Amino acid sequence: MKKYITTLAACVFSLGVYAQQNPTTTPVEDKIESLESHNKQLNIFFNFQASLDAIATEGQDTEVAFKARQLRLEIKGDLNEKIFYRFRHRLNKSTAAQSLDNLAKATDIMYVGYRATDKFTIVAGKQSQAWGTFEFDINPMSIYEYSDFIENMDNFMLGANFIYQATKTQELQFQITDSRNSKMEDIYGDLSSQGIEASASPLTYILNWNGSFLNNQFQTRWAYGIQTQAKDKYSNMITLGNKLNLSKFQLAFDYMRADEDIDRLGYATMDGADYLAANDMKVFEDVTSNTFILKADYQPMPQWNIFAKGLYETTSVNNVPTYDDNFRKAYGYFGGVEYMPFKDQDLKVFLAYIGRKYEFTDALPALKDYNTNRVSLGLMYRIKAY
């Protein structure tokens, strides 16, 4: 007993001395402060989406199966007040290094950032290109199905971004990145028969504006960029996102347009494979693609969200008769309900319908119209693991 009393007295004496030396803190407070600092430096997330799908494709049997569409490991943090970093990696994609940037397609993001001032930030490394629109801006975990435009973009590139926070509600970005992950010949093959040569500087230049107005009730995500595809071959892209952001209702309208000297998005080339083969070509040139997206969200109660989404896309090959004048049209019509059972967890249980329809010009009888339908019951969970 004397031993315990002596130990307790020593502890009390030690705490008294500590309190005299550090009158503003306690050991418990120091421990909490240490943990908070540690958590700012290291935050680990798993971004996960999986569902039970019933998929009906025209002319095929209905397929019913479980599928994991998203599984991404994310690590990020602030090393100090000036320096921060972020890493995100897809755990269900190939890890083979690409021939231009020497990084895996599975690695979405690996960058370090520096807050030079309160208004100016520099980000360097592999990052998402700074295109506009709200569908592009959202965490991929929350997307049921992208438009064909975004689905076929290569948008995680090695480069640098210069961010200027003009005001609390207005942000400008100027970004320079690679225009692709792999060398041109590894994507298209040998294009010398079409007179196309690789560029010595395959870079992309993007100017981005993110705005907020009326106490954040109206938001913008606008961008314009030029991508070097090959020697003297470029792609011009404009992406405009506008959003009405009310307390229980949100409405976003996105527009994307690409005028490409070489069909980088690729779905025109895929649909025109027979024509290209017959004319000893591997890729279409002078392609224009347009995408319109309208999405509405309504929260009748804090834990519930009801959504509807429509999209319309057109594609033209401007220098090839029969493939010009919007030879390909795509429609999308989505709807569903999401339930968020926990206030402190980024978890959604959802029931969603995803419908797609594709129409082709009558001048191309070999290309048949078709549609797909999917019903998905599943969950999205951004797990804060640490």
Say which CATH class 44-384 falls into: mainly beta
**Rounded distance, CA 269 to CA 286, Å?**
11
Higher pLDDT pick, 33 / 169: 169
How far apart are the C-alpha atoms of 180 and 131, rounded to whole Å?
15
Residue 11 reports pLDDT greater than 60:
no
Helix, strand, coil percent values for the chain (each to nearest 5): 15, 50, 30
Q: How confident is the model at residue 58 (pLDDT cuts 50, 70, 90)?
A: confident
pLDDT band for position 262 (cuts 50, 70, 90): very high
What letter does residue 133 receive in the DSSP assignment? S
Question: Amino acid letter at 204?
Answer: T
Structure tokens at 19: 């309190």
**Cα dihedral 52, 58, 62, 68 in deg (nearest 10):** -30
Give the pLDDT band of residue 36 (cuts 50, 70, 90).
low
The per-residue pLDDT for 34 is: 57
pLDDT class for 3, splitting at 50, 70, 90?
very low
Is 257 buried (19+), middle (13-18) or exposed (0-12) by CB count in 10 A? middle
What pLDDT, in 10s, does the model give residues 313-350? Answer: 999 999 999 999 999 999 999 999 999 999 999 999 99
Position 69: which residue type? R
Collapsing DSSP to helix, strand or coil, 357 comes out as strand
Q: Give the percent of the chain with pLDDT over 70.
A: 90
**Average of per-residue pLDDT across 348-371:** 96
What pLDDT, on a 0 to 100 scale, did the predictor assign at position 57? 87
| Domain boundaries, given as residue ranges, for the chain | 44-384
| Token reading at 163 | 């961010």
Contacts of 63 (CB under 8 A, 6+ apart): 53, 54, 55, 56, 57
Q: Which of 244, 226, 233 is nearest to 131 (CA)?
A: 226
DSSP at 96: P
Q: Do the beta carbons of residue 151 and residue 104 sit within 8 Å? A: no
What's the rounded mean pLDDT across residues 265-294?
96
The reported pLDDT for the residue numbered 37 is: 58
DSSP 8-state symbol, 271? H
Tokens found for residue 302? 């804090």
The mean of the pLDDT values for the chain is: 91
| 136 three-state secondary structure | helix
As given in the structure block, the two tokens for residue 238 are: 């404009």
In this predicted structure, the answer to whether residue 14 has a pLDDT above a threshold of 60 is no
- 167 near 181, Cβ under 8 Å? no
